[in-house]
Amino acid sequence: MASRLLHPQQGSGNGSNRNKGNDFRNTDMHKPEGIFRGEKIGHSDRESHIRKRDGVIFNGEEMGYVDREKHVRRPDGIIFKGEVVGNVRENQARAKDGIIFEGEQWGYVDDSGNIHQRDGLIFSGRIIGQMRGHNKEAALGFFMLRFNELVERFEALEAEARSAEHKGKYIGQVRHMLEYVPKYDGLGDFDNLIRRLKQLEHDLVSEVERARSSKANKKRDLIREARNWGNSSEWKAAGEKIKALQAKWKEIGGAGNEEENLWQDFRDACDHFFERRTAHFQELDKKRSDNASKKKSLVSEAQRYSHSSDWKNAGEEIKGLQARWKQIGHAGDEDDGFWQAFRQACDTFFERRTNHFEELDRERMENARRKESLCSRAESLRHSDDLREAIEEVKELQAKWKEIGHVPREMADSLWERFREACDKVFEAASAQRERKQHEWREKMHEVLSAKREQANRLRESIEHDEGLVSHWEEVISNLHDGSRADEIRDSMEEKISSVQDRISSKEEKIREIEEAIGDIENKLGG
């Protein structure tokens, strides 16, 4: 490219003294001139401090400076001088000098102020800018510092790319940089920078290829696992495992040319399991139909006993029905309805029996109150002065005692002992009475323990049934195929599952409360 003469007012270093005032070393750097004058892109002051183009308000960013030894440096730090990025020799930009040899030439400025790159191994040198002023060192330094910024940009990209887990996304950035670096307006070792870019591109492409190969190893492992699980009869665990393998397959990503064959093998292994599972559950459906007939019969029997007043025999029969119920497997979609009807029939009987015995307890408690009144009167007679009259009254109290009906079993002995001892005027009855009351309390506590344990067992049976429902509904969901009602059925099943799981949680909480109460009673009873 032919050198272009500067504007007469710019001077070439050989002008008159009117260009040599206080601004002798103030120099502006511009882009190469074309049809229009080149745009200003930087400047230096008389101390050779180099800055980028000034903004509307703020001075341009400082890039560096040229020191007295004509080393081009980056800005100084707080303690140390700025790093040397190159040297200026006369009108030439050069690399840092070595121990023996002078640094290679990167470019030069001609007498017209045009900044040239040197011819390289890869591309021809060209005019990259123009200086307007007299400070050739600062002009050359500006373009060396620009090149240094380009190197820093590359090194940041290289560091990020080499440390990244997924390197493929950086290949495009490296190739884009390879496109614009040869056209970049700067002075430096372009040949080395382009070699480094090409090496980085080669390394990233190789790493991506290795990653694809690694994915095909990984996917073969998933195929082996899927084949192993494909013959399993642990339907829930195997189904979840194969779904997890399918998720992993998606996470691994493409495996290049092997992807299609690998995918076919993997899909065949998965389909083998799901076809076996479908056949298995079809067989289960037949068994559940038979179970439904059996449970329907038990419901009818339980309903027949639910209104019986033969409390002992009917209670034993219903417990037998409950034991038979446990031996029958799941009855499909109707299972919950059968269970509700069966439980309601059983609960109806046991509630009636409980109410009956509660009414008896109320009558017996009233009898106990009346007998306690007789005891109190008998106890007061021991202080009587008229023993004959007191004896006659005791006989009358004994006759009244026999007329009063039963009292609660746990109270009967204590009341009789109290009454008898009062009549016999056995003053030692106080210590014996305390012992009997302790006995009464323990009997009551044992009955309470028995009732609570039975209540907890009924809750556990109910939970076991609920968990069977949840398991069935989950199986139904897992076997749904896409269709017009698939989403509706799935939503319905999931709503049922959520409701039953809440019910299970409530029952489990109730069991914990009962077990805490049992523990408290056992502690009071001494284990």
Is residue 483 in some structural domain? yes
Contact indicator for 177, 157 with CB cutoff of 8 Å: yes
Statement: residue 11 has pLDDT above 60: no
Q: What is the mean pLDDT of residues 63-78?
A: 94
155, 188, 218 - which closes a domain: 155
Is residue 275 in some structural domain? no
Q: With cut-offs at 50, 70 and 90, classify the pLDDT of residue 425.
A: low
Is residue 471 in some structural domain? yes
Statement: residue 381 has pLDDT above 90: no
Number of domains the chain contains: 2
Count helices and strands (H / E) in the chain: 11, 10
**Parent domain of 499:** 436-527
CA atoms within 13 A on the CB side of 16: 3
- Cα torsion 180, 181, 186, 191: sign: negative
Contact indicator for 28, 43 with CB cutoff of 8 Å: yes
Q: What is the mean pLDDT of residues 447-457?
A: 90
Q: Exposed, middle or buried, 119 (CB in 10 Å: 0-12/13-18/19+)?
A: exposed
Contacts of 495-501 with C-beta under 8 Å, sequence gap 24+, read 496/469, 497/470, 497/473, 500/466, 500/469, 500/470, 500/473, 501/470
Q: With cut-offs at 50, 70 and 90, classify the pLDDT of residue 493.
A: confident
Is residue 173 in some structural domain? no
> Residue 277: what pLDDT?
86
Q: Using alpha carbons, list the distances in angstroms from residue 527 to 281, 426, 514, 521, 524.
A: 48, 34, 16, 8, 7
Q: With cut-offs at 50, 70 and 90, classify the pLDDT of residue 209.
A: confident
**What's the chain's average pLDDT?**
84
3-state class percentages of the chain: helix first, strand second, coil last, to nearest 5: 65, 10, 25
155, 185, 216 - which closes a domain: 155
Is residue 241 in some structural domain? no
Is residue 308 in some structural domain? no
133, 155, 177 - which closes a domain: 155
- Report the predicted TM-score, pTM, of the whole model to 2 decimal places: 0.43
Q: With cut-offs at 50, 70 and 90, classify the pLDDT of residue 386.
A: low
The pLDDT > 70 percentage for the chain reads 88
Q: With cut-offs at 50, 70 and 90, classify the pLDDT of residue 516.
A: very high
Q: Using alpha carbons, list the distances in angstroms from residue 417 to 108, 363, 396, 431.
A: 128, 21, 17, 12
Q: What digits encode the pLDDT tens for the residues 18-57? A: 333 334 468 999 998 876 678 999 999 988 999 999 887 7
Q: With cut-offs at 50, 70 and 90, classify the pLDDT of residue 120.
A: low
**Strand 105-109 relative to strand 114-117, pairing:** antiparallel
> Residue 320: what pLDDT?
92
End-to-end CA distance of the chain: 107
Choose among 405, 402, 303: nearest CA to 345. Answer: 303
d(C-alpha 500, C-alpha 411), whole Å: 43
